[in-house]
Amino acid sequence: MGQNFLSDPSTAKTIISRAQLASTDVVVEIGAGLGALTIYLAQVVKKIYAVEKDRQLIGLLKTELLANRISNCEIIAMNILQMDLDAITDAIGSKLTIIGNLPYGISSQILIKLIESRRGIDRAILMFQKELAQRITAQPGGKDYGRITAMLRYCADIRVLANIKAAVFYPPPKVDSTVIEARFKSTAMYGPHNEAMLFAVIKAAFGNRRKTLKNALTASRLGIDSQTALEALKSAGIDPARRAETLNPAEFVSLEICLREAMEGRLTRDEGRRTHDKLRYPNLK
Q: Mention every residue, 6+ apart, whose C-beta is less than 8 A from residue 206.
A: 146, 147, 150, 216, 244, 245
The reported pTM is 0.89
Contact 4, 169 (CB under 8 A): yes
Which pLDDT score, from 0 to 100, does residue 60 have?
95
Which pLDDT score, from 0 to 100, does residue 275 have?
42
pLDDT, tens digit (0-9, with 9 covering 90-100), for 161-172: 999 999 999 999
Answer whether residue 279 shows pLDDT above 60.
no
Answer whether residue 101 shows pLDDT above 80.
yes
Contact 163, 178 (CB under 8 A): yes
Omega prior to 192 cis, within 30 of 0: no
Write the single-letter amino acid at 280.
R
CATH superfamily of 195-280: rRNA adenine dimethylase, C-terminal domain (1.10.8.100)
Which pLDDT score, from 0 to 100, does residue 277 have?
46
**C-beta atoms surrounding 173 within 10 Å:** 16
pLDDT, tens digit (0-9, with 9 covering 90-100), for 198-231: 999 999 999 998 999 999 999 999 999 999 999 9
pLDDT, tens digit (0-9, with 9 covering 90-100), for 37-57: 999 999 999 999 999 999 999
Which pLDDT score, from 0 to 100, does residue 109 have?
95
Which pLDDT score, from 0 to 100, does residue 264 have?
86
Answer whether residue 272 shows pLDDT above 80.
no
Question: In this predicted model, which residue has the larger pLDDT, 105 or 184?
Answer: 184
CA distance 28 to 253: 30
Which pLDDT score, from 0 to 100, does residue 267 have?
56
Question: In this predicted model, which residue has the larger pLDDT, 240 or 272?
Answer: 240
CATH number of 5-185: 3.40.50.150
Nearest Cα neighbor of 79 from 31, 39, 115 is: 31
Q: Which regions of the chain carry the CATH code 1.10.8.100?
A: 195-280
Which pLDDT score, from 0 to 100, does residue 283 have?
57
Q: Which regions of the chain carry the CATH code 3.40.50.150?
A: 5-185
**Given pLDDT bands bounded at 50, 70 and 90, which one contains residue 268?**
low
**Given pLDDT bands bounded at 50, 70 and 90, which one contains residue 3?**
confident
